[in-house]
Chain A
Amino acid sequence: MSETLGTDTAIGGQSQGTPRVGGAAETAPPTRPRAAGRRRGRAKMRLEIAVLSGPPIIVFLAFVIFPVALAAYYGFYQWHGYGAATDWVGLNNYKLILTDPAFQQVLWHNLLIVVLSLVIQGPLAILLALLLNQKIRGRTIIRVLIFVPYVISEVIVGTGWSLMLQANGALNDLLAHVGLGSLKADWLASPKLALWTLMAIISWKYIGFAVILMLAGLQAIPEELHEAAAIDGASYWQIQRRITLPLLGPTIRIWAFLSIIGSLQLFDLVYIIWGEYVSGTAGTSTMAIYMVGQGRDAGNYGYGSAIAVVMFLISLIVALIYQRFVLRRDLRGAVTEGAI
């Protein structure tokens, strides 16, 4: 291991004998210059902090925080994207959003996607992770293969699936071949099915990520606990319920958080498979789709910005509630300050 470390301590040992220049200067007049040196050290440290953290903070503020603030600003105007925003409408955009049936519809879709993602992927991922965590051969290759859908972009996933799920596509053909022709359906266009099709595609794309996270969580649980419980006569399922699940808790909670935030922002998949207009009739449009439709395509940038703010507030409230009540112990100051 410690080739680097070894040489370093060796050098450290040598240099202890010969006092450094700075050290010599300090020892000559005892008290006051040392304070000055410390002050100089502090100034130097401040400079280093500024030089190192300045550029990232500037980029971050300019391209993340400022646009979000700008959205909040434009949300108060009726504005069509060119010239200065002058048509102040106060909270009118927000009042419109609250009574806009189209927005209520997309909000409902987003909530369904959030809940269904958790309910479908969560239990499935835990079961699969428990299974794959056993000592079986080819674990590495399994991990790679189940992660593949997650690595492919939503654009490609969407393009591929929409070709397969067309009325005359591969899935219906396959069903007919195996004698399940009665199950053939218009998976994408039927308003009854489309949302479930979307959920199937989302689950397919993101389950691998969930399983990998759960596997990582499982591997952090010491095996001795299981052995001890087994010696005490606990059955396999008792061990999983009483020991594994509680210890997997932090991983599950973080996965759920990521899943919720992701579901609230869903855009690419729906945009590619259904597009703005079809997604409205098929019942798969999301808040982000509606926002882009209003802002970029209909030119109502003020209204689009207000939708963005509402989306952000929903995400923020969800995140804060989640952190306050669920993640509190797990993050230990990752997002709130705390333990740094």
Chain B
Amino acid sequence: MSATTAGSWRSTLEPQTPGSGSRRGRRGAPQKWGSPFTYFVALLFIAVCIAPVLYIVVGGFRTNSQITTSPAGLPHPWVVTNYTGVLKSVTFWGEFANSVIVGLASTVGIVVLGLMVSFVIARYDFKFKGAMYSLFAAGLMFPLVIAITPLYIVVKDLGLIDSLAGVIIPQIAFGLPTTVIILVPFLRAIPKEIEEAAALDGASRLGFFVRMVLPLSLPGVVTVGILAFIGSWNNFVLPLYIINSQANFTLPLGVQQFSSQYSTDTARVLAFTSLAMLPALIFFTIFQQRIVGGLTGAVKG
């Protein structure tokens, strides 16, 4: 419920942007079929985007001899042993669990800390507000790769080398800039009148934060959370530096190691790779509207 409330708030606030309302209207009207050329190009484009992914997934159902004799062929017959082999391996599930732990912890950290500071920047009036925003916005220019060597040293000095915490905490820090950029416009769009009404009712600013801001900014929060999770799921450089022992590997490290260790067993590498990308893909498919919508908001904001 709260999500729809916020959605309609936004669309009433910004009538020029296509809110959920106008889209619903379009869907209601009987839709015309476009020109065949459009469909042709769209299909071609989709094929180019999806074919390599399908190749990885389908390749996992072949045997190595099939792949060697006909690299671009279809499975004949389909074999599931590659997939079952990976699914039975302790290594895969260990790396999967590590990726899940790192992803969830990073996401929670990014969302909670990001909301706190975005709320301050968006709703409080004080001298260093602009400077604070600039500080975080400037963080967009400090990508992880650039800071990786000294970051490694900092993590080492804290004794967090080869631990999941050593990946999680820096990921939270580097996730904050995007979060602030996306959330601040969201929080600022909540009309002042609501805050005043809440104040009249005796709610403190913090009470207003918990009871009104959180539900109203839920769409933005969800977007930020999904981006944080996918970013964490796909992160490679940081674990590459921080994590040494295989017991603490996340999936990207696992994929890299697996593909060099079993470089002759192509089919198994393909199966491992498919299974490693599956969670991010499922996650994305479920929440795609939010991600795309959030990006739109960020660009316009």
Residues of A at the B interface (CB closer than 8 Å) are 1-5, 8-9, 11-12, 15-16, 20, 22, 45-46, 48-49, 52-53, 55-57, 59-60, 62-68, 70-71, 74, 81, 128, 131-132, 134-137, 140, 142-149, 151-157, 159-161, 163-164, 168-174, 177, 204, 207-208, 212-213, 216-217, 219-220, 222, 250-251, 254, 261, 265, 267-268, 271-272, 288, 291-292, 295-296, 301, 304-305, 308, 311-312, 315-316, 319, 334-338, 340
Contacts and interface: CB of A to CB of B under 8 A. Distances in A.
B100 interface: no
Given A68-B147, A216-B296, A48 B5 contact: no
Contact of B197 (A8, A52, A140): A8
Interface string B12-52: 00001110000000100001111100110110011011101
Given A135-B26, A169-B71, A315-B141, 15 more contacts: A1-B4, A12-B197, A49-B120, A53-B121, A66-B150, A67-B153, A70-B150, A70-B154, A81-B153, A137-B31, A142-B42, A159-B255, A163-B59, A168-B68, A335-B137
Contacts of A337: 130-131, 133-134
B52 A161 contact: yes
B55 interface: yes
Given A334-B181, A337-B134, A149 B38 contact: no
Contact of B284 (A74, A151, A171, A267): A151
Interface string B276-301: 11001100110011011001100111
A142 B50 CA distance: 11
Interface of A is mostly: helix
B70 A68 contact: no
A39 to B, nearest CB: 15
A59 B113 contact: yes
Contact of A53 (B34, B132, B148, B151): B132
A71 B144 CA distance: 12
A253 to B, nearest CB: 10
Contacts of A171: 72
Interface residues of B, number: 115
Contacts of B101: none
Contacts of A334: 137, 181, 301
Contacts of B104: none
A265 B145 contact: yes
B150 A216 contact: no
A294 B300 CA distance: 40
A153 B49 contact: no
Nearest to A331: B137
Interface centre among B52, B205, B235, B252 (most CB of A within 10 A): B52
Contact of A63 (B18, B121, B169, B206): B169
A33 B241 CA distance: 59
A310 to B, nearest CB: 10
Nearest to B136: A60
Interface string B77-100: 000000000000000000000000
B143 to A, nearest CB: 5
Contacts of B146: 68, 71, 265, 288, 308, 311-312, 315
**9 smallest beta-carbon distances between A and B, as pairs:** A153-B234, A63-B173, A216-B296, A337-B130, A70-B150, A67-B150, A136-B34, A56-B117, A173-B71
Interface centre among A163, A177, A208, A268 (most CB of B within 10 A): A163
A224 B31 CA distance: 19
Nearest to B171: A63
A326 B238 CA distance: 32
A316 B141 contact: yes
A173 B176 contact: no
Contacts of A177: 72
Contact of A136 (B17, B42, B235): B42
B205 A148 contact: no
A317 to B, nearest CB: 10
B197 A71 contact: no
Contacts of B32: 135
B5 A172 contact: no
Given A136-B42, A137-B31, A337-B131, A64 B145 contact: no
A212 B292 contact: yes
B131 A291 contact: no
A170 B51 CA distance: 12
Contacts of A338: 130
Contacts of B201: 8, 11-12, 15
A170 B55 contact: yes
B240 to A, nearest CB: 8
